[in-house]
Homo-oligomer: A and B are copies of this chain.
Amino acid sequence: MEVRLALTGFGNVGQGVAHLLVERPEVYRDRYGVDLVLTGVADRGGSAVNPSGLDLAALFEAKRSQGTVAAAPGGHAGLAGEAFLDLAAAQVLLEASSTNFENAEPGWSYVLAALGRNMDVVLASKGALVLHFQELMEQARVRDLRVLFSATIGAPLPVIELAERVLIGNDILGFEGIVNATSNQILEAMSNGATYEEGVKQAQELGIAETDPTLDVDGWDAAAKAAIIADAVLGAALRLEDVQRHGMRDVTREELEQARQQNQRVKLVARVMRRDGGFEATVGPERRDRSDSIGRLEGGQMSITYFTHPLGTVNTTIEGGAGGLQTALTMLRDVVNLARDRGWASPSPR
C-alpha cells in the first residue's frame, strides 16, 4: 500500500531518508508491502511538494546547487508550517530538523500541526520529546495517532522494541547506554593519541558530529536521550535538568592513556536507575574494562543495556555505529512498524 511521507529537515538525516527511497525502495515494497512516497520536503529555504511523489534526484541537485529544496520542481521559497503540510497531503510526518532544547522549534510546531491533520509522526529531532513528552503523547492518544521516535534515542539501537516486545513480564530497574556517538568517537581518537581538536575533526569527517559539537561533548545530547528513554520506558517524566550531566571535555589524554594501559576505555555513559521511588539520572565519563559490554566498544559504536528482574541484564550493541544513514534507516523502521500497526503493510510471514 502507498504510504505518503512529508519530511521536515533536509540535512544528514533527511537526505539519508531520501537516499534510501532512491536506492532501496524495492526492499520496503517487496518485504513489507509499503510503497513509500515522499510528497513534501521542507528545509530552511522553503519546501518542495508533489502529492504524487517528488523527483528525488532533483531534490539532491537543488540542495547541492542552490542550498534549498525550494529550488527543485514543486518548490516554493519560504513555504513552511501548516501550508507546507496541507500541500504535501501526507499520512506521516518525518520530523528531522535540527534539535532545539530551548523551545523545541521548528519541530514542535510541525508535530502539533501534523497531529491536527490526523497524521502520524516519526521523529528524529529531540526537542519536542525533551520539553513536551507528556503533552505530545496525550495529544496523539486522544486522536488515536502514533508518535514514534526510535531515531531520537541512539538510533539504530532497539531501545523501545526491547522494552515493549522482549522484556515483557520483567520489571525494568534501569538502563545504561552509549547513546552519543560523537563524544565516544572523540574519546577513542584521543586515547589513540589525537588531540581533542583532531578528535572533533575526525568525528566530523565520519559524518557523526555537527559543526558545533557542544551538544555532544558537553553531554547535552546524551542527557536528552537518557531523559527520553526514561520517560518512554520507565514512565519517569524527567526534565533535561534532572539529569546530572558531565561532558567529556575535561577528560585528559593522560587519563585516557592510563586507562588504555590498564586494558580499559573511558566512555561517556548515560544511565537512569529507579531509586527510592524516584529516578537517578546521570551522564558522564566512566572507566570500563575492555571485556565489559560497554568498555569493549570502539569509536562511535552504540549500546543499550537494560537491568531487569527477573531476567537480568540485557545488552544490545550496534557495532556499525551511528550516522545519517543509520538514523534514516531507523526512521523508516518506525514507518514500517507504524504501517503494520495501521494495517497498511502486508502481514508478516508469521
Contacts from A to B (Cβ < 8 Å)? 20, 24, 27-28, 32, 137, 140, 146-148, 156, 158, 161-162, 164-166, 168-171, 232, 290-293, 296, 310-321, 325-326, 329, 332-333, 336-337, 348-350
Smallest CB-CB separation from A312: which chain B residue?
A: B320
- Contact of A168 with B333 in the complex, beta carbons under 8 Å: yes
Which 6 A-B pairs give the minimum distances between C-beta atoms? A312-B320, A313-B319, A168-B333, A158-B166, A316-B316, A290-B291
Q: What are 24 inter-chain pairs, A to B, with CB distance below 8 A?
A: A24-B169, A27-B169, A28-B169, A147-B350, A156-B166, A156-B314, A158-B158, A165-B165, A168-B333, A169-B329, A291-B291, A293-B317, A293-B319, A296-B296, A311-B320, A311-B326, A312-B318, A312-B319, A313-B318, A313-B320, A314-B319, A315-B317, A316-B316, A316-B317
Chain B residues closer than 8 Å to A310, beta-carbon distance: 325, 329
Complex Cα gap A310–B19 (Å): 12
Chain B residues closer than 8 Å to A161, beta-carbon distance: 158, 161-162, 165-166
**Contact for A350 among B146, B158, B336, CB less than 8 A:** B146
- Contact of A166 with B320 in the complex, beta carbons under 8 Å: no
Complex Cα gap A169–B20 (Å): 9
Complex Cα gap A137–B164 (Å): 25
Complex Cα gap A49–B29 (Å): 47
Chain B residues closer than 8 Å to A158, beta-carbon distance: 158, 161-162, 165-166, 314, 316
- Contact of B148 with A350 in the complex, beta carbons under 8 Å: yes
Complex Cα gap A148–B165 (Å): 13
Complex Cα gap A24–B168 (Å): 12
Chain B residues closer than 8 Å to A20, beta-carbon distance: 169
Chain B residues closer than 8 Å to A318, beta-carbon distance: 311-314
Chain B residues closer than 8 Å to A313, beta-carbon distance: 318-320
Shortest beta-carbon distance from A293 to chain B in Å:
7
Smallest CB-CB separation from A340: which chain B residue?
A: B165
Shortest beta-carbon distance from A229 to chain B in Å:
13
Complex Cα gap A349–B233 (Å): 10
Smallest CB-CB separation from A170: which chain B residue?
A: B329
